[in-house]
A and B are shown apart, each in its own frame.
Chain A
């Protein structure tokens, strides 16, 4: 069997990392975060403290774990073979995120096309909700009145911001491929900035919704789907912006070249995914 080894495409040694404590600590941090959140929601005093401890552990471990991976990468532990595993991992992870958003989109479509029309169309003799007319937006038969969010103010600006950030990120990628470092760095910084401005507008929009429009999480299925979808999207933009900032920092310290830049590409895929989710949101939540 030995003779055939030389002809294998992966004649090298696959990098299996040394034993590590990061995973078990990360699990412990997640346990504390979940336990603390449960205690907080059920009004037990230690809740916030347990949550804080859990979050601190998680942040600390993520710093160290990602730091270790970056260190291994910089000292050349990874070949194309390991790189391929990382790429597969990221693609399927984004796939799972797509399905996570699909659940909330499904809830939105279900309420708009099935539950609200069914509630409005019931026989008056058999319904608790006589006179409910249905339609969309709605806070349901017993919901408080509210003003829905218009599409062509802040949401349209946010759409433009995210689309532009997709362009600046691709521009940065071109810079990386052509070895133009300043284009790469500038593109990344612009993308992070656009993401942060997006989040600022989003925060302002939430404030406006709660204080002036009466649009809250409790505003029936419209409010519920609105805040669930835009809220989880905003959370993903936040994560994406943090990851982009890390990539920008690495790029400024000279990491990545035109051949080896998995982290850059992974974050770019993630950012474009978040972009596409926003376009869907803009159409089905704000516009139609």
Chain B
């Protein structure tokens, strides 16, 4: 399973690699990183539908995570990638606008990785079942 992580914090790469090192070693997941919305769109264009799951920050310089979410949901429709928003903004407004734009889930920073792993399992399994 390929996961694209979009965040302007460079250390996210190291963190995800460390946190998922067992899963990476076993070949269950594979990560790609983009440090801005623009970079993420470029990656998605280049690697057509490779990433089945996108984890995106909201507050980034340039294109915001919400704009990215909107574009992804417009552009890539068959099958739509699962998008989970990860943000330090824990307020209801951010949550609502993300959900209204079609986000599949919403988690807040600091990231609870055991919770994230649970969600990933459910999302991916659910998608596997529905796509069968």
The reply to whether chain A is a binding partner of chain B is no
**B-contacting residues of A (Cβ < 8 Å)?**
none
| Contacts from B to A (Cβ < 8 Å) | none
